[in-house]
Amino acid sequence: MTEAQQTATMAAQVRDFTKLSLADAEEAGGKGANLGELVSAGLPVPPGFVLLRDCYRVSMRAGGVAEELAELHRRALGVIADSDELTTLCRQMADLVAKAGVADEVRTELLAAYHRLGDNVAVAVRSSATGEDGRDASFAGMNATLTDITGDDELVDAVLKCWMSLFGPRVVAYRASRGFEAEPAMAVVVQRMVTSQRSGVAFTADPSSGDREHVVIEGAFGLGEVVVSGLVQPDTYTVDKATLKELDAHIGHQDFQIVRGADGHDRNEPLSPEQADARVLDGAALHRVAELAVAVERHHGTPQDIEWAVDPAGDTWLVQARPITTLGNGGPAVGTELARGLAAAPGTASGTVRVLRSPDEGGQLVDGEILVAPMTNPDWLPTLRRAAAVVTDAGGMTCHAAIVARELGVPCVVGARSATKDLEPGTVVTVDGTHGKVLAGAAAAPTVKAEDRPAAPAGPAAEVTATRIYVNLAMPDTAERVAAGDVDGVGLLRAEFILTEALGGRHPHDLIAHGEGDAVVRALVESVGRIAAAFAPRPVIYRATDFRSNEFRKLVGGEAYEPVEHNPMIGYRGCFRYIKDPELFNLELQALAQIRESSPNLGLMIPFVRTKWELEECLALVDASPAGRQRGLHRWVMAEVPSVVHWLPEYIGMGIDGVSIGSNDLTQLMLGVDRDSEICAEVFDEADGAVLDAIGRIVSTARTHGITSSLCGQRPSTDPAFAEKLVAMGITSISVNPDAAPAARHTVAAAERRLLLESTRT
């Protein structure tokens, strides 16, 4: 190929927005193709161009690193569960990209296209990876975006940083979770910067409810980075899609804005108290943003997530658009409402109703059917695994069905009262676990099986938080998938479900009585060991079996070992049970000792500790066991009983070095409300002043004595104010269900930033 031919070929790989459309998504990536499509629709888009992905490939080949990159990437896909190895490989790949640099022929065409935009203009440089910003996956925030880039050298360096971001650990893990196993390549968008006086995002369907009749718009002053990164509380407007009339406005609070400084770089500019609480969009500006958002949706024919900016002249620009990828998990109501309960596990699934009265009937459930039952206990687990969704008559947000469904990624509605009567066996329904509804007919979107769901990394961009984000786990099946995500360990590993499934529905004491106690140890070593290994070296805190007589009496042989209690929730369980009947607890300690020989990151948590003397006797059992004689065994207690507020200093003096606040049980006992009661659900409030006071005193005591404090519960990931209170208290970590970990990280990060800003002003 002649030099002239090479130049022409490379020029074709640097393409103006006006020459791109959705058909070019493979070469231009999602961002680049979407911007070209907006331009072709005649919508206002700042001018720019895209380096197609072959520019990256040419540069890697010219730099002599292409083959080594491919080999390292193949190795990285095989070690997703090993965070240390994955991080090492990703660092090596990014270093190779930096070593290769931008090939001379690519640099020539890049700078030629840049100069066509003007003389030394400021541009935004955004990664546009293949598969990014598509209908089925969004890499939102995972790859690099650089703003206010000026000059040739800065531009070349920014492009290189985008290419390097292909190999961040979260990006590689997320790519693997979505089945993108081909060797990655990246296009890069270069777009003239808008001097943003106001900016934000617009959704043409409500992302929280799936309502497609409204446009939801978030706005802030300055560059939109403050909105997408959660740095401030933006204004939120709801607009009727048909009439473009404002339906609701929530005016946020913004202490600062990001603007372009005199040196050409972004800087934070404080806002006056009047500006901080001022409305961002007036009627005309709001109407224009909504009008453009609807136009984008009309062009694409599907709900869109749009980024917009308003310049000093008052002109509104669209700087990015992509399909909303999450509506399938919280889509609009379909058909007639047949039943309503508590929204226990998010997602939407359609299938045929199968009403079962007991786990013995579990064999009747065909894979993909909707399980409808009066209530579920641990021995329902094999049946729950095969269900497309779960609906129960009884139960609250912390019942067995809710816990397991959230971990399996199965939509679930609990406390529907008469679902077993209202839902006709054999009929097709849609279970909306996001809103607690069961609707007649099938949803438009296909059911997503649990094993096909994205891994935990499929959330917002990775954020560093001082407060650790742990997960709650109950089964080993999901360990590797969850461990590949942005989580800091396991704050609560429940033993009950592991034992129930591994022992084939037999009560552990039935096995012990028949001389088969070793089976209990083997089951725990295999399952708990798998989880500990997947998360190593991150901590995994194993909560010893917290039997409740009503749940385990129905297991095979259970009637011989479980008393009949009127109030099992506050009965024969936890620490008291270990000292009265230590056989099973001793087997658990044997298993922990075996696991810790290869996974010393495993710790022990004692649940439901009521009194000092109980814990003394329980810790004596631990000290006498093989696990107790090992060095470095962390001993935690769960703070579920209000008496822990008084006794915690004594517990710490006895060797306890971690406390985990079980907010569900603590709320139950503080407020005297059954946590599993759908009737009293509105009384159950973890943010009640009395509960918060107890939590605050526990955290304060832990801080004073220098031990770890944590909280197990979903509230921090769904309630920013609650999360901020925990962060302000100085809690060490928060442990949530795996599906809520990304949201919890984002919420905690925002809370930490707000508290930091407040501290700097005082």
Dump pLDDT digits (tens) for 124-139: 999 887 644 444 444 4
Residue-level pLDDT at 758? 74
pTM given for the model: 0.53
Residue-level pLDDT at 229? 55
**For residues 423 and 433, what is the distance between their CA atoms, to the nearest angstrom?**
16
| Position 271 pLDDT exceeds 60 | yes
**For residues 179 and 167, what is the distance between their CA atoms, to the nearest angstrom?**
16
**For residues 734 and 407, what is the distance between their CA atoms, to the nearest angstrom?**
17
At 7, is the secondary structure helix, strand, or coil? helix
Residue-level pLDDT at 209? 60
At 217, is the secondary structure helix, strand, or coil? strand
Share of the chain above pLDDT 90, in %: 50
Q: Give yes or no for a contact between 469 and 736, defined as CB atoms under 8 angstroms apart.
A: yes
Q: Please compute the mean of the pLDDT values over residues 573-586 and round it to a whole number.
A: 95
Contact residues for 69 (Cβ-Cβ < 8 A; gap 6+)? 60, 93, 96, 97, 183
Q: How many DSSP H helices and E strands does the chain contain?
A: 28, 29
What tens digit of pLDDT does each residue of 79-103 get? 876 767 888 899 999 999 999 999 9
Residue entry with tokens 């404090």: 709
Confidence band of 164 (pLDDT split at 50, 70, 90): very high
Complete domains list, the chain, with CATH: 3-192 (3.30.1490.20), 198-325 (3.30.470.20), 328-452 (3.50.30.10)
**For residues 354 and 361, what is the distance between their CA atoms, to the nearest angstrom?**
10
Token pair recorded at residue 650 = 């004594």
Q: Please compute the mean of the pLDDT values over residues 493-511 and round it to a whole number.
A: 86
What tens digit of pLDDT does each residue of 180-197 get? 667 888 899 999 998 889
Active site members: 400, 712
Q: Residue 77, exposed/middle/buried by CB under 10 A (0-12, 13-18, 19+)? A: middle
**For residues 371 and 351, what is the distance between their CA atoms, to the nearest angstrom?**
9
Q: Give yes or no for a contact between 182 and 469, defined as CB atoms under 8 angstroms apart.
A: no
What tens digit of pLDDT does each residue of 657-694 get? 999 999 989 999 999 998 777 678 788 889 899 999 99
What tens digit of pLDDT does each residue of 616-631 get? 999 999 999 999 999 9
Residue-level pLDDT at 6? 52
Q: Residue 544, exposed/middle/buried by CB under 10 A (0-12, 13-18, 19+)? A: buried
Residue-level pLDDT at 502? 81
Q: Give yes or no for a contact between 296 and 318, defined as CB atoms under 8 angstroms apart.
A: yes
Report which of 692, 684, 757, 681 is spatially closest to residue 722, judged by C-alpha positions: 692
What tens digit of pLDDT does each residue of 350-404 get? 888 999 988 888 888 888 899 999 987 777 877 888 899 999 988 777 677 787 8
**For residues 144 and 164, what is the distance between their CA atoms, to the nearest angstrom?**
8
Contact residues for 471 (Cβ-Cβ < 8 A; gap 6+)? 456, 482, 487, 489, 490, 491, 735, 736, 737, 738, 741
Higher-scoring residue by pLDDT: 724, 648: 648
- Tell me the sheet residues that pair with 339: 438
Q: Give yes or no for a contact between 320 and 394, defined as CB atoms under 8 angstroms apart.
A: no
Token pair recorded at residue 247 = 């339906």
What tens digit of pLDDT does each residue of 148-159 get? 899 999 999 999
Residue-level pLDDT at 437? 92
Confidence band of 226 (pLDDT split at 50, 70, 90): low
DSSP one-letter code for 434: T
Arithmetic mean of pLDDT over the chain: 86
Q: Please compute the mean of the pLDDT values over residues 511-537 and round it to a whole number.
A: 93
Strands (E) in 271-417, as ranges, are: 304-310, 316-323, 337-340, 342-345, 348-355, 370-373, 389-392, 412-414
| Position 459 pLDDT exceeds 60 | no
